[in-house]
Amino acid sequence: MVRMLAFRLLWRNWRSGEVKILAGALMLAVAVVTAISVFTNRLEAALIEESAAFLGANRIVDSSQPIPEDWQQSAAAQFDVRQASTVEFLSMVFSDETTNMASVKAVSDGYPLLGRIEVSQRPFAVDPEDIAVADGVPAPGEVWLDSRLLPLLEAQLGDTVQVGDKELLATRVIINEPDRGGGMSMVSPRLMMNEVDLPATNVIQPGSRVSYRWLLAGDPGEIDRMVTWLEGQISDHQRVLNLESSQEQLANALDRGTRFLLLAGIVGVLLAGVAIAIAAQHFANRHIDQVALMKSLGASARRVRTLYLLQLLILAAFASVAGLLIGEIIQRLVSTTLSSLFPVALGNASIDAYGVGVLTGFVCLVFFALPPLWHLPTIPPLKILRREMPVRHLEAWAQGGFGVGAVLLLIFIYSANIWITLSVFFSLGAIISVAAILAWWMLRVGRQLGMHAGSVWRLALASLQRSPAQSTMQILVFATAIMLLLALTTIRTSLIDDWKLQLPADAPNHIFMNIAPHERESIGQLLADNDMGEVNFSPMLRARLTQINGEVPSEEARERNGSLRRELNVTWFEALPEDNEIVAGDWWDEARINDEQALGAVSVEVLVARRLGLELGDRLTFSLGGLAVDVVVENFRTVNRDSFEWYFFIMAPGVLEDYSPVYRSDVFLPPERKNVVNDVLLKHPTVMVFEFDKILQQIRSIVDQVSRGVELVLWLVIAGGGLVLLAAVNASMESRLQEAGLLRALGSRRGLIIGSVWIEFSVLGLMAGLLAVFGSEVLLLSVQRWVLEVPMQPHFHLWVMGILLGTLVIGALGVFSCRRVVTVAPGVVLREVDG
Amino acid sequence: MIEATNLSKVVQTSEGKLVILDDVSLRLADGESLAIIGASGSGKSTLLGILAGLDVPSSGRVKLNGRELTEMNEEGRAAVRADNVGFVFQSFQLLPGLSALENVMMPLELHGRRDAREKSEYFLSRVGLAERMHHYPKQLSGGEQQRVAIARAFASEPKVLFADEPTGNLDSTTGLKVIDLVFELNKEQGTTLVLVTHEDRLAKRCQYQLELEAGRVATPATKVAVLT
């Protein structure tokens, strides 16, 4: 009975337009959050899949010993995961004509578990028509070879090559493979064979340097369970690799991308919350009379509460379903429209992604919509007789508390990270508090200025002043929306620029190492002949850090610090590398370099320095080929670990001039020039080449994908912001209509009313714009500093954009929403409002 | 039966205590009618509110149909109102989003009456609005709106009808029609009627008149039934 009545009341409220804004805001909340959450979920799934292709699996157990067979059997029995294995080693490969070193990878059936091997019948193929996806692994007795290996072996497809004692038929060229990995596979060209042929080669002998890899793929939960099990099994010879441990650079790019999407999601949630609170407040104000009437007619407070709760729940259910549908449609439209642009197909979202939308709807309802309505059942029935009787709303601090709770809860639901929740929450909280004070102050100043102005201005400013609390709230709402839009646009731009800067299209993708001084000219010439322009060679020496301040480090210190155990690459530079930054001490100048009295200077990477407990002025002794060199620590600096060239130790020029260095050169080679690598290696067999081109290409495609996702999510949030602005204007429309109707009835010209509406909303927008600019600048600087971890820079273009956006858009929105005031007869307006 | 004994209402203001009602007593039998008259601010509406159980006195007692309102909490008073009381207000108090019919149906629906629609249609016909049942308040004139309010009040067949300045917002002719309607339905249903009014002609239609002056019963009372 009560449910039917609630349905009927809700239907009547709906028809009369009273709950439409509330429902719309709720629907918007669910839609925006669903769209963002489903889209990011799909995007993340695609990104994880794409990035898993780097490993060829979700996890890899990397071992210098064969993986125990009983592991594989018990894993198969206990866990629902797919398995494959590879064995990698360097070996000389023989053709009929010649021999060459190759990085051999023997793979089991099922490899790769994720990602794919691209093969061709033509070496160095770039035309997509020539490239196919392999439908398996090399058959027993066959090998697939890297493009580069064929000319090096002077062989062709169809020839046989010999690996150890086994002759194998070369059937395909490998264009791309997952799990290119690092280390030796980058130096020597690939030869891929079937695992079953491996014993016949007799290549692997006790003591051979071999990397055994056990590839695992499956559901994240299942994989996690299995990793937990594995951790109890593995020895020092083995380690479990995931994306973070194997591809730091890619993991960083992904992390930043998901953090941004997260921020965008939080903004969507906040905008929705604001819209719902405004709409609920509006709804509650309109229902005071209705509740007083119901209570005078004998409805108990409990009855009223039940009726309103039921109405809200029904509304929430419908709004959630509609929101889910709209969210789904939006994200489908977005992903379908852009599917051709995505390098990989977006998968299906998990059901949790939709759950987040529905959960958001209900949390918004309980925390944002209920508090403004909470007092309704407590409205005294006497209110029906005494209109002037004040209504006891839920205390402002309590309403605020609910809002705060909701924001915290929602951000936490969305981020599942307490630190992100708290940092976003507190920075927003601080900004909004300061903004409220500033808004109130601006309104005061506005009123004083308005007293000296003409009638249109006076009318407009008086209108703003009539209810300072309400005007302050509106300024805050507009300011918050504009602030978030400005901040998001800027974060997105700087994020993408930041990535692009790190990964320019012509970033070096090959590193030639181990170049002897006399080889520089010849290699330089070879590269120049292939349009590579001028090539830089940086010197490099292998050195061992043997003493600190004249003392040999303890065994324990050596155990703790890798840089005390192994040989280090040291170099010398006159100028500080561009992407390094001095954090203590000074970079050397010419006088320091030429100071023959002083010890040579060394610059140390700050984290290594911290681990070694170094201080400025410490004396380090390096051993270079048995000779000792003493240097003094002159400065500490950061390095860009995302780049390929960075050094823990850089000497001042002159220090190492008596030692013969080898050189390295970082070069960008487009695919069609790839053969230059062979030319260099044929002529200079001792030179080593690290090939990063394929990895870089994969990273770039992922970055492109994340950037597009970020743009789309931003548009969804902007749409949400626009709708919140409309909801806020709508909520204050009734009193505006009444006032304007009265003015017209008293004979005011239309121009005066329209003008004053323009001015009122523009001034409101101007104030909101000013605050937004201030707020977004603070927010952006904090995000740059703490979330994205990029250098802080002020954003002057925001000042113009924010103020213009606020003044013009809100001014126009105000006039647009209030147009009825001057188009409908004043009598009708007044009567409608009164009725 | 309404019985009020030594009712006082005192409120605390920034300027000290303000006495709104001072020692008012009355008794009204079932089916009788009482007009509460007096100047603005004399305490008429306060007395009406207390008698109807919308408000509580600072001291004194009120019995409505044998139930002691002053000993009840708001929930209890709501239950008594639901069973016994109807209202007509000066400003009609129609809900703008509901049609005339829905406005009349609302109290019946609140009390879970299954015949809400039929009963409402009947009473709207009785007040002459059969053709305008589906109109919204803003589409009706003031007199028509008050007739909807009267239909709403009588549709739930209250034992006592409280009316607060029912003609206050209406012109003289329309007011007269509304008065006729109230008394006609009152007679039909045998309802006890308590109304607050400024209008002499309306007060005179009641069996009893109680004049208030600054919260006290003015003397001499005219045509007083039972006044102490």
DSSP string, A507-560: ---EEEEEE-GGGHHHHHHHHHHTT--S---EEEEEEEEEEETTBPPPHHHHHH
Report which DSSP code applies to A209.
Answer: -
Q: How far is CA A329 from the centre of its chain?
A: 24
Optimal mutation site among A293, A824, A830, A834, interface B, most CBs of chain B within 10 A: A293
Q: How far is CA B114 from the centre of its chain?
A: 25
CA distance B211 to B220: 9
Q: Chain A residue with minimal CA distance to B110?
A: A299
CA distance A680 to A685: 8
What integer is the mean pLDDT of B104-127? 89
Contact A55, A358 (CB under 8 A): no
CA distance A545 to A613: 14
Task: With both helix axes pointing from N to C terminus, report the angle between A248-296 and A301-337 in degrees, rounded to the nearest 10.
Answer: 150
Quick one: pLDDT at residue B221? 45
Least confident of A34-48, B82-96, B154-168: A34-48
Decide the pairing of beta strands A190-194 and A142-146.
Answer: antiparallel
Nearest Cα neighbor of A722 from A35, A40, A18, A28 is A28
User: Which one of A18, A298, A382 has the shortest CB-CB distance to B85?
Assistant: A298
Run means of pLDDT, 10 residues per run, chain A, 835 residues: 80 79 80 78 69 76 84 85 89 86 90 86 80 90 88 87 92 82 62 93 80 86 85 78 63 63 67 76 84 87 89 89 87 67 62 84 84 84 79 75 82 76 78 80 79 72 72 75 73 61 67 83 85 78 86 82 78 83 86 78 88 89 83 88 75 79 83 80 76 67 62 62 65 71 74 83 88 82 67 79 86 77 65 52
Write out chain B residues lying below 8 Å of A5, CB-based: 109-110, 112
B194: confidence class by pLDDT, cuts 50, 70, 90:
very high
Write out chain B residues lying below 8 Å of A303, CB-based: 110
B161: confidence class by pLDDT, cuts 50, 70, 90:
very high
Query: HSE (CB half, 13 Å, CA atoms) of A247?
Result: 27
- B115 Cβ under 8 Å from any chain A Cβ: no
Q: Chain B residue with minimal CA distance to A293?
A: B93
Yes or no, beta carbons of B89 and A385 under 8 Å apart: yes
- How far does the CA of residue A381 sit from the closest CA of chain B (Å)? 5
Q: Chain A residue with minimal CA distance to B52?
A: A296
Q: Chain B residue with minimal CA distance to A18?
A: B97
Yes or no, beta carbons of A835 and B95 under 8 Å apart: no
Yes or no, beta carbons of A298 and B110 under 8 Å apart: yes
- B11 Cβ under 8 Å from any chain A Cβ: no
Please, where are the H alpha helices in B24-141? 44-51, 74-84, 100-110, 116-126
Decide the pairing of beta strands A99-107 and A166-176.
Answer: unpaired
Please, where are the H alpha helices in A91-156? 149-153
Contact B95, A293 (CB under 8 A): yes
CA distance B24 to B117: 41
Helix (H, G, I), strand (E, B), or coil: what is residue B59? strand
Contact A450, A760 (CB under 8 A): no
Report which DSSP code applies to A810.
Answer: I
Quick one: pLDDT at residue A452? 72
Per the structure block, which two tokens stand in for A322?
């509609």
- Is pTM beyond 0.95 here? no
Yes or no, beta carbons of B109 and A5 under 8 Å apart: yes
Quick one: pLDDT at residue B225? 44
Quick one: pLDDT at residue A809? 84
Please give the C-alpha separations between residue B109 and each of A58, B112, B116, B121, in angstroms, as whole numbers: 62, 5, 6, 14
Using CB atoms within 10 A of its CB, is residue A252 exposed (0-12), middle (13-18) or buried (19+)? middle
Yes or no, beta carbons of B78 and A382 under 8 Å apart: no
Quick one: pLDDT at residue A705? 62
Contact A549, A633 (CB under 8 A): no
Q: Chain A residue with minimal CA distance to B86?
A: A297
Please give the C-alpha separations between residue A499 and each of A502, A509, A670, A761, B222, in angstroms, as whole numbers: 5, 16, 20, 39, 92
Give the list of residues 6+ apart from residue A44 with CB closer than 8 angstroms, or none.
A258, A261
- For chain B positions 128-147, those within 8 Å of chain A (CB to CB) are 136-138
User: Which one of A13, A300, A831 has the shortest CB-CB distance to B97?
Assistant: A13
CA distance A654 to A590: 11
Report which DSSP code applies to A348.
Answer: P
Write out chain A residues lying below 8 Å of B78, CB-based: 295, 298-301, 381
Which of A2-6's residues contact partners 24+ apart within 8 Å by CB, and which partners? A2/A303, A2/A306, A2/A307, A2/A310, A3/A310, A5/A307, A5/B109, A5/B110, A5/B112, A6/A306, A6/A307, A6/A310, A6/A311, A6/A314
Q: How many other C-beta atoms can be found within 10 angstroms of the C-beta atom of residue A574?
A: 12
- How far does the CA of residue A303 sit from the closest CA of chain B (Å)? 9
- B13 Cβ under 8 Å from any chain A Cβ: no
User: Which one of B79, B98, B138 has the shortest CB-CB distance to A298?
Assistant: B79
Q: What is the CA radius of gyration of chain A?
A: 34
Nearest Cα neighbor of A34 from A371, A357, A438 is A357
Quick one: pLDDT at residue A503? 58
Decide the pairing of beta strands A190-194 and A99-107.
Answer: parallel
CA distance A709 to A688: 39
Yes or no, beta carbons of A289 and B81 under 8 Å apart: no
Quick one: pLDDT at residue A145? 92
Q: Please report the number of interchain residue pairs, chain A to chain B, with beta-carbon separation below 8 angstroms.
A: 88
